Structure 1
Amino acid sequence: MSGLHADALATLGSWSAPEPDQERLRRRYVAHLRVHPDGASRSCRPDHLTASTLVVDADGDRVLLTLHAKAKRWFQLGGHCESGDHRLVDAATREAREESGLAGLVLDPVPVQLSEHEVPFCRPPDGTATDGRVVHHLDVRFLAVVAADAVPEVSEESLDVRWWPADALPDPEPELLDLVRLARARVGVSRGTPGAD
């Protein structure tokens, strides 16, 4: 994962955090990666990077969420980095495609948000029990915009996958609300603000 590690350091080292709390997390992630060459691998304990994607429709009015099988909550698509992932955005893309069934996803390579959270059910790749330390996912969250008529499919990792109105999310956590807010702002900028690409 040396290529992924280098990409993660470069991506997070140059990322302009949108808010002071996000800048604090950015520095935390960079420090973690500098100390842990395996910091993007789930074998890195107790903390490791993960990658996820918020999928929105072209108007930013709907978001695609998955009902996580272990957590039993609605989240954006995402998961652990794997050895075949060369960049963080590659990991996020792979996870989003696997969990949504949407083959044509193209992600914005610039992260939207960072989120550090405890994951009590996270186990090493070999499935063994944890060593008692609480695992933290250091999630790097990206954005994908798809056509409004995109039809997702439920994967083995999810209990359900469906579109939700951006302003009526199911039992949302504050970080998910912030992610949607930041993603919608980015979609708005890319849809016609002077000077936008």
Structure 2
Amino acid sequence: MTLHDDAVLVLKGYDDGGDAHQAHLRQAYLDHLAGHPDGMWKACGDGHLTASALVIDPERGRVLLTLHKKLRMWLQMGGHCEPQDTALRAAALREATEESGITGLTLLPGGPVRLDRHPIPAPCNWHLDVQYAAIASADATERISEESLDLRWFPYDEVAAVADASVVLLMESTRARLAQAG
């Protein structure tokens, strides 16, 4: 199975939780992949899927955010899919591990937590982000990657003061999923 095929299956199975905007994005992602065999790759000029993961430490009630070097914004870990990626889950976990420096992360069961489409500068137009959540142990040690200016743990109630609405929504959805599971 190709990464493209995996993405289609993941999106077809994505639980939008009855959110009309998430349902619309899910269909837009599926339409994009149907019309773009290269829709997983950075080279696709009309946009491409990306995979990200919010690193969370539920025992201490905090999330790990990276101060992105290019964007200068506090974001979850994530980025472009690579040729060796065989599944969106694997791409999200790879990105979270690379950018956080934390080994032993585990993705929250149940598939993606949210979808987020945002414009990016030319030559491409859109990132179609498939967002997961990764659980870190309370004793996890982070390490700043070359893609970051900083890496910092934030208590849940401080995230809205430093991050944009997409990160806040991802954190809230992740916490809701944790509460349902727990």
For 1:173, the equivalent position in structure 2 comes to 164
Cα deviation 1:87-140 (Å, max 9, x = unaligned): 0011111111110111111113500000000111x6xxxxxxx3xxx5210000
Tell me which of 160, 166, 176 is aligned to 1:185: 176
Q: 1:99 to 1:20 in 2, by over 3 A?
A: same
Cα deviation 1:23-57 (Å, max 9, x = unaligned): 00000000001111111111111200000000111
1:149 to partner: Cα distance: 2.2
Single out whichever of 58-67 and 37-46 deviates more from structure 2. 58-67
RMSD value, Cα:
1.4
SS of corresponding position for 2:178: helix
For 1:69, the equivalent position in structure 2 comes to 69
1:146 to partner: Cα distance: 1.5
After the TM superposition, which residues 38-49 of structure 1 pair with which residues of structure 2 at under 5 Å, given as runs?
A: 38-49=38-49
After the TM superposition, which residues 1-197 of structure 1 pair with which residues of structure 2 at under 5 Å, given as runs?
A: 3-18=2-17, 19-59=19-59, 61-108=61-108, 110-120=111-121, 130=123, 135-169=125-159, 170-191=161-182
Larger helix proportion, structure 1 or 2? 2
Count of residues in Structure 1 that have an aligned counterpart in Structure 2: 179
**Larger Rg over CA atoms:** 1
- TM-score, normalising length from structure 2? 0.93
Aligned residues: percent identity?
45
Cα deviation 1:159-187 (Å, max 9, x = unaligned): 11111011111422122111110000111
Single out whichever of 19-28 and 173-182 deviates more from structure 2. 173-182
Which letter maps to 1:39?
G
Q: Any conservation in 1 of the 2:39–2:49 contact (CA below 8 Å)? A: yes
Q: Any conservation in 1 of the 2:46–2:125 contact (CA below 8 Å)? A: yes
Distance in 2 (alpha carbons) for counterparts of 1:162 and 1:46:
33
- TM-score, normalising length from structure 1? 0.87
Which letter maps to 1:111?
P
SS of corresponding position for 2:65: strand
Q: Any conservation in 1 of the 2:54–2:64 contact (CA below 8 Å)? A: yes
Distance in 1 (alpha carbons) for counterparts of 2:4 and 2:116:
18
Q: Any conservation in 2 of the 1:118–1:136 contact (CA below 8 Å)? A: yes
